[in-house]
Structure 1
Amino acid sequence: MFDFDTEAIHKIFSPSVRPPPLPSPAAAPAWVLLEPVAYIADHTNATTAEASSSTGHTVRVTVCVTDPLGVSYICFHCPGLKDSDFCDRPTVVCSDKDFLILSVVFMFGPHAKQGLNEYFIYKAGPGRPALRLLPGPYPRGFRGSGIALMPRDDGAHFVLAALDYTFQFDDRWVYDLHIFSSRTWTWTRKVPQVEVSSEVRSGVSIITPSKVIQLGGGTVGFVDLMKGIAVCNVLDEMPVLRFIPVPQLMPGHMEGSKSCWQVRNVSYSNGMIKFVEIEKHERHDPDERTLDDMDTLYDSDCLPKPKVIGWRAMTWYRMISWDHWRKGSMVYDKEISVDSERYSMLFPEPTDNNARELTLKNLLASFPVLTLTCDCDDIVYMLCVTKSEDKESWLISVDLKKKILVELAPFSLKGYFAPAQPSELSSYLNRAPGLGCLSRR
């Protein structure tokens, strides 16, 4: 629902982008909204860890956290290297519990043209944080963010799993499963058996995972937000790949080719897979009459009426064993009520004159994020912009079942378009007493 030009995207990913200041939380939050790309910046605090790159350069990683609705982020620094020595900002590949994987592309010396893509694993605790260079992914770099990161043995070890499509002329459902174990510090390859119906084989093309959901006991879901979820226990000696389709795009998205990240998301908690989509729609004027009801046509009646663009959010849920999705909540923007005493000064004229109360109908919403909290399965985080010319940005949380705005905060990362993702990393961080979230050396 948001449109971005190439120049804006280039600025967002430029290594020269500086991190914004963050208010320090009173205590380490149980979870945070984590920005998916890191900043190249020389900042340290109690979370800073060091390692060496394959070229011998010192690498420092620092975690800077703040309470939601603020957006936490990672700082990456290599003493002696300049912004021009990096292709773009480092990427947070995946995060689970106290582990996080970061990807960085170096562009210097013999790597100035092709670039050197390296991956580092950060461990927040217990004790002092640690950072280590990972061996190059087999057989090539990770594709997107479809990587399963699974802490094992109470966090002493971890397993990585990457699902990789293998091109075949006679069968589109052939995949390799690449597994990395911290015990052996090596990559291995498995070929999963695929158990999908003939209907799925003929109707669903290549699965391109953009995220992974942990389903418990070594079972993960490789999520293609457009097509479905490839479910597999990656720890099995002979893994089996199964498929769960996701709901089709809502009608308001059928005509466009917008990124699914803008309008859809999936999560798993408390035994349930949860799915959310935000749909742009044209809102009809309830006072508009049809020609059947009119004996006289004034000139104004003959002119085309301006379209009123609104949005609605819909959730679905299911267990892995089900063969169906069940609808959760479906809410229109103007149905969501806002506490007027708390937020009236923040909103740019959000008053619904008919209801005489504040609503969200003057905001456009995208990038839904489902909460990690199991007992709040109807709360969705969204990035919103105003319809007015100033295009102010807000990060909001909405309880779709109760149809209320839970929380709202200005969004300072202007022009940003990738969704912040919930992460539990913050609850494992070693934060020294009295040390601010961000401390420049």
Structure 2
Amino acid sequence: MSAPHHLGIRARVSAAQSKSDRTAPFSGAVTMDDEYVACLDPPLIPTEDCSNLSLSSVILDTTAYISADAVFNPTTAVGELSTGALIQVSFCTARPPRLSYLCVHFPGPVLGPDVATVFGPVAGTPAVRCVRDPPLVISTHADRALLRVSIPGSLRVNDHNAFDYFVYTARRRPGSCLLHRLPKPYGLPRFRDQDASIVSCSGTRYVIAVLRNTLSPMEFTLQLYDSDTRRWTSRNLPVHLEPERDMDLPIPDSDADLFFHDTTKAIALESTTVGWVDLWRGILFCNVLDEKPVLRDMPLPKPARCSRGSYRGDPYVQRDISVVALPGQPQMNLIQYVQMGTRVVRSSRWQPVEHSTSGSSSDEHYDVDCYWTATIWTMPVPIASWKDWRKDCTIDVANIVIDNPRHSELLLNALPNPGFT
């Protein structure tokens, strides 16, 4: 996902900011009532020209920011919330490794059924002061981003009425970016963010694909929104054939209560194929626009030995996955999977325990050295077999030698604010 234009916004720049060659595109946060989060102060962006960035060459922050002031620039798109209030979305671009981000503004007063109720906001309150959760970027593909936006002033936290979903489309021609609100898939609870993926199709068409767990461990519900028909459809999909992950990565008996598959993130693989990734175990994938979609299973590479047998907790601590284009071959994609392993080694250094009244050796403790390794695996797209996983490289921190202390000084100089580490 990328932005075709750099924001052209006048801003007040302090002397300290001028030294670091940055602009502050938006004003500071607005004071909020305790029931709502404060406006997120958007980060400073560099003044360098980013107009030549391609639509897929930026790194997009998953948190969108809220601007207290109105923003109009070549990337601004205007839409309407389900309450009838207006919403504006603009794209701030920065050259990698800096993060680009989306910025949201609500230009009018808060609207909706909770306004002027006992626990709701006072009528006429600016909508930007009544946002409970920051907007989130759920998924991106090509020039589109799927956003979840908390409706200003809403008190219905756990149902569809608390959020609206928008698709933001970035375009190169100034003023042509689009913001489309999705109808809500009534009849089912609100889907989880990690279960949804946006897929750009030919022309202006796109689909939103959501894979839900059911009571049956080997059957899932596929929900699809098609921009051509502007409606949601739903069907049940069993896992095709015998799942390979149960042979390669069986769930330990101690974790028998876990799901066969619990999606951590969704990724667009190719054309209209989506993969739903359980970072502990494997990927379920299918072509969502097939007349009869088939849900297939592919295990991930075996986890590092130190974390085998553990399927609980946040997997992002140890692993992540993404789809990347091959250098010089933008039409060829690779699945890139990274996993980390750690080990603790007692060092030769020891220190006496402070305030000890005993003379035993147990009152001495040893320092420990923590080591980590990171392994990168790749898989060509389209997916053929789990045996196509290839180990690209392994990095061991024990082999990283810092023989020149000036290297860290260079890193500090590369930060936007050298005084912030």
**Same fold, TM exceeding 0.5?**
yes
CA apart distance, 1:342? 6.7
Q: Which residue of structure 1 lines up, in the alignment, with residue 316 of structure 2?
A: 261
Contact 2:132-2:153 within 8 A present in 1 as well: no
Kindly report which structure 2 residues correspond to 1:343-358, keeping only aligned pairs within 5 A, or say none: 343-346=407-410
Change (3 A) 1:20 1:39: same
2:207 touches 2:224 (CA, 8 Å); kept in 1? yes
Q: Which amino acid aligns with 1:268?
A: V
Q: Which residue of 2 aligns with 1:367?
A: none
- Report deviation, 1:103: 0.5
Identity in percent: 28
- Please list the CA deviations of residues 186-219 of structure 1 after superposition, one character each: whole Å capped at 9, or x if unmatched: 0111222421416656946342223222222322
Aligned to 1:336: 400
SS at match of 1:93: strand
Is contact 2:155–2:162 with CA below 8 Å preserved after alignment? no
Paired amino acid for 2:145: L
Aligned to 1:351: none
How far apart are 1:410 and its partner, in Å? Answer: 6.5
8 A contact 2:135–2:150 mirrored in 1: yes
C-alpha displacement at 1:60, in angstroms? 0.4
Which residue of 295, 298, 306 corresponds with 2:367?
Answer: 306
Q: Which moved more, 1:156-165 or 1:308-317?
A: 308-317
Q: What is the distance in 1 between the residues matched to 2:103 and 2:165?
A: 15
Q: Which letter maps to 1:236?
A: D
Asked whether the 8 Å contact 1:69–1:409 carries over to 2, the reply is no
SS of residue paired to 2:194 = coil
Match of 1:120 in 2: 166
Q: Counterpart of 1:141? A: 190
**Distance in structure 2 (CA, Å) of the matches to 1:147 and 1:39:** 21
Letter paired with 2:139: C
Gaps of 5+ in 2: 1-33, 110-125, 252-258, 325-331, 350-359
> Hey, which bits of structure 1, 4+ residues long, moved more than 6 A?
299-302
TM-superposed deviation, 1:108: 2.1
Compute the displacement of 1:135 (Å). 0.5
Matching residue of 1:106: 151
Q: Are 2:267 and 2:275, in contact at CA under 8 Å, matched by a contact in 1?
A: yes
**1:241 Cα deviation from its structure 2 partner:** 0.7
- Opposite residue 399 of structure 2, the aligned amino acid is E
The yes-or-no answer on 1:278 pairing with 2:278 is no
8 A contact 1:173–1:201 mirrored in 2: no
Is 1:180 aligned to residue 247 of structure 2? Answer: no
Contact persistence 1:97–1:151 (CA under 8 A): yes
Provide, for residues 278-315 of structure 1, a one-character-per-residue CA deviation record: whole Å limited to 9, x for no partner: 22322565x78xxxxxxxxxx99994320112322111
Q: Which amino acid aligns with 1:323?
A: W
Match of 1:17 in 2: 40
How far apart, in 2, do the equivalents of 1:217 and 1:111 lie? 37
Partner Cα separation in structure 2 for residue 215 and residue 126 of structure 1:
24
1:122 counterpart letter in structure 2? Y
Report SS of the residue matched to 1:26: coil
Change (3 A) 1:118 1:109: closer
| CA distance, structure 1, for counterparts of residue 414 and residue 401 of structure 2 | 13
Change (3 A) 1:110 1:16: closer
The Cα offsets for residues 244-292 of structure 1, whole Å up to 9 and x where unpaired, read as 111343244457954112321112343532210122322565x78xxxx
In the TM superposition, 1:244-259 aligns within 5 A as: 244-253=298-307, 257-259=312-314
Residues 318-366 of structure 1 show CA distances to partners (whole Å, capped at 9, x for unaligned) of: 342123233221111242356948734156xxxxxxxxxxxxxxxxxxx
Distance 1:338 1:123, change over 3 A: farther
CA distance in 2, matches of 1:111, 1:148: 24
- Considering Cα pairs closer than 8 Å and 6+ residues apart, tell me whether 1 or 2 has the greater RCO: 1
In 2: Cα distance, 1:328 partner to 1:247 partner: 12
Asked if the contact 1:99–1:122 (Cα under 8 Å) also holds between the matched residues in 2, the reply is yes
Q: Does 1:322 align with 2:385?
A: yes
Amino acid at match of 2:133: D
> Does 320-329 or 202-211 show the bigger shift?
202-211
TM-score, with length taken from structure 1: 0.66
| Aligned residue-pair number | 332
Matches of 1:256 and 1:222 in 2, distance apart? 17
CA radius of gyration, larger in: 2
1:78 Cα shift?
A: 0.8
Change (3 A) 1:216 1:121: same
Please name the residue that 1:232 is paired with. 286
Matches within 5 A, 1:187-202: 187-197=232-242, 200=245
Give how far 1:133 is off: 1.1
Q: What's the offset of the Cα at 1:22? A: 1.0
1:213 corresponds, among 264, 267, 275, to: 267
Does 1:160 pair with 2:227? Answer: no
Distance verdict in 2 for CA 1:142–1:338, change over 3 Å? farther
Q: Residue 66 of structure 2 aligns with which residue?
A: 40
Q: TM-score, length-normalised on structure 2?
A: 0.69
